[in-house]
């Protein structure tokens, strides 16, 4: 059995950052367990290949929700990155922080160290921004941040329309103020996706002897001695293995799979665990509760303008032309994150903060691209930033390879009763 000082479970954005930072001390050994692959092939690094991941199961857990009462029983889709980099390896690469009031609100609830003033220095340390500097931005960090290289003229058309409609134009959504419309900065470098793995893990996999990234390794339960976590059991291929931690087990498996792994390990509501034959190690009913997610509505419009992606003879020809340009220059439509423009708005003038976010997309995007249609066009996502409804995550079975049950409770009451 291998033994490390720290075992980090989950190689997404948080896990990559934690494992990399811990391994900066050469005397400290770190193991990073990731259920997916290394996240370093062209499907990940090419922004235009994003649709191949989000719409299917390539590097994607592709979870479903339980039927949503607030959506007439419809089942929602929950794409989540599977591979080093996690969702930063499959998402739309928009570089957005929360509003300063979000962080100050968490601190006011008693979470010391989470105010905007507390977290801003860490945002700056992580960032290598090619366009902005000053009090809100950093240079030389592991995460590259830049503007789009798609060269799509629709960006300027969007900004002109925003000016004509008398919206504020916001050059920097991560500056002192967030309200307004503009174009998004992206986690890219030279037209390629820059995931958390590319920033924090890939550069050190062969140069730090104390950092071990173990891929295709799905955690099945946390190992305990009494109530102290001492290791992790995981499945790699057909083998069931164990790994030990001298100092800490750090769980960074995301909003869905972190509570799932805790419950599989006996931490959660004792009665609910008993229904699956899982012995309770620590009765903690809050595990899996208070899930918050953003409802998002998409407007889609057809257009034959030669600037939009889609399935048409002209659109397909533009794709092949864009691939050739990308290979030559790392510019053009294959560098697009699709959601190139957007912003933050208030639905009522009396609100203190913006309560919706827009993502203006250079394609018609229906159901995360899972429902393609013939033709080209554009779409706009309208996202509720601070939903009142609260949902939950729970076990569907004691099988660690089974997906968790996910209920965001979209458009529901603020709280719901748990299914058990």
**Cβ(360)–Cβ(339) below 8 Å:** yes
pLDDT at 419 over 80: no
What pLDDT, in 10s, does the model give residues 297-311?
999 999 988 898 888
pLDDT at 416 over 70: no
Instruction: Identify the band that residue 317 occupies on the pLDDT scale cut at 50, 70 and 90.
Output: confident
What pLDDT, in 10s, does the model give residues 136-184?
999 999 999 999 999 999 999 999 999 999 999 999 999 999 999 999 9
DSSP state of 404: P
Which residue would you say has higher pLDDT here, 348 or 365?
Answer: 348
Quote the CA–CA distance of 122 and 9 in Å, as a whole number: 22
Average pLDDT over residues 382-397: 96
What pLDDT, in 10s, does the model give residues 50-82?
999 999 999 999 999 999 999 999 999 999 999
What pLDDT, in 10s, does the model give residues 337-364?
999 999 999 999 999 999 999 999 999 8
Quote the CA–CA distance of 22 and 17 in Å, as a whole number: 9
Quote the CA–CA distance of 320 and 323 in Å, as a whole number: 5
Structural domain boundaries in the chain? 147-185+294-386
- Residue range 147-185+294-386, CATH number: 3.30.410.40
Residue 41's contacts (CB-CB under 8 Å, 6 or more residues apart) are: none
Average pLDDT over residues 190-211: 97
Query: Tokens 């994150």 sit at which residue?
Result: 337
pTM of the model: 0.94
CA atoms within 13 A on the CB side of 307: 15
Residue percentage of the chain with pLDDT more than 70: 98
417 CA to centre of own chain: 27
């Amino acid at each position: 059995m291998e033994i490390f000082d720290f075992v980090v479970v989950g190689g997404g954005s948080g896990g990559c950052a934690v494992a990399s930072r811990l391994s900066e001390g050469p005397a400290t050994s770190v193991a990073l367990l990731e259920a997916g692959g290394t996240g370093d092939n062209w499907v990940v690094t090419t922004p235009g290949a994003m649709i191949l991941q989000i719409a299917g199961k390539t590097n994607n857990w592709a979870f479903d929700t339980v039927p949503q009462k607030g959506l007439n029983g419809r089942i929602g889709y929950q794409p989540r990155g599977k591979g080093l980099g996690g969702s930063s390896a499959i998402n739309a690469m928009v570089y957005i922080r929360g509003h300063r009031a979000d962080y100050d609100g968490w601190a006011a609830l008693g979470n010391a160290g989470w105010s905007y003033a507390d977290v801003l220095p860490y945002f700056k340390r992580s960032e290598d921004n090619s366009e902005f500097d000053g009090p809100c931005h950093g240079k030389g960090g592991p995460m590259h941040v830049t503007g789009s290289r798609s060269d799509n003229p629709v960006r300027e058309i969007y900004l002109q329309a925003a000016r004509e409609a008398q919206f504020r134009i916001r050059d920097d959504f991560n500056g002192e103020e967030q309200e307004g419309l503009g174009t998004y900065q992206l986690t890219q470098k030279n037209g390629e996706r820059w995931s958390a793995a590319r920033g924090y893990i890939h550069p050190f996999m062969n140069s730090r002897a104390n950092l071990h990234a173990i891929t295709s390794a799905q955690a099945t339960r946390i190992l305990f001695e009494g109530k102290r976590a001492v290791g992790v059991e995981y499945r790699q291929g057909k083998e069931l293995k164990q790994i030990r931690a001298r100092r800490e087990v750090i769980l960074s498996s995301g909003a869905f799979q972190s509570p799932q792994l805790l419950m599989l390990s006996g931490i959660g509501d004792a009665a609910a665990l008993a229904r699956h034959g899982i012995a309770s190690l620590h009765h903690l009913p809050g595990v899996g509760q208070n899930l918050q997610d953003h409802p998002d509505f998409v407007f889609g419009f057809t257009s034959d303008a030669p600037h939009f992606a889609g399935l048409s003879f002209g659109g397909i020809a533009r794709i092949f032309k864009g691939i050739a340009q990308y290979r030559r220059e790392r510019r053009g439509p294959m560098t697009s994150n699709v959601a190139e423009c957007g912003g933050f708005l208030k639905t009522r003038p009396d609100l203190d903060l913006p309560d919706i976010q827009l993502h203006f997309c250079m394609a018609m995007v229906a159901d995360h691209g899972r429902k393609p249609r013939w033709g080209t066009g554009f779409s706009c996502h309208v996202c509720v930033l601070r939903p009142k409804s609260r949902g939950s995550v729970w076990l569907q079975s004691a099988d660690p390879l089974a997906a968790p049950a996910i209920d965001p409770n979209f458009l529901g009451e603020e709280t719901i009763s748990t299914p058990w």
